[in-house]
């Protein structure tokens, strides 16, 4: 999945597969996680968030099935 770079102190890059509803997040420490069954609304809100790290903590972490890559 192609990821785009993000301006964030927490997230380095993110990608989204709308067909499979999969969100991939690369953190600044290099860890990459895949989140399953993520609505496209969450992807749009993440990109539009004033603080992407805060949005991740409040709306993504611990809310979707997760796999560390």
The series of mean pLDDT values per 10 residues for the chain, 69 residues long, is 94 98 97 98 97 97 97
Dump strand ranges (E) for 1-69.
4-5, 11-17, 22-27, 32-36, 66-68
CA separation for the pair 48, 31 (Å, rounded): 22
User: Apex CA 30: angle with CA 27 and CA 57, to 5°?
Assistant: 20
pLDDT for 34 equals 98
The pLDDT, as a whole number, for residue 42 is 98
Q: Which of 43-46's residues contact partners 24+ apart within 8 Å by CB, and which partners?
A: 43/14, 43/16, 43/18, 46/14
What span, in angstroms and rounded, lies between the C-alpha atoms of 50 and 46?
A: 9
What pLDDT sits at residue 1? 84
């Amino acid at each position: 999945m192609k990821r785009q770079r993000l301006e964030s102190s927490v997230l380095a890059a993110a990608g989204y597969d709308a067909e499979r509803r999969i969100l991939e997040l690369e953190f600044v420490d290099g860890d990459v996680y895949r989140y399953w069954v993520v609505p496209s609304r969450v992807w749009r809100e993440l990109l539009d968030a004033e603080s992407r790290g805060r949005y991740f903590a409040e709306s993504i972490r611990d809310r979707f099935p997760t796999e560390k890559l």
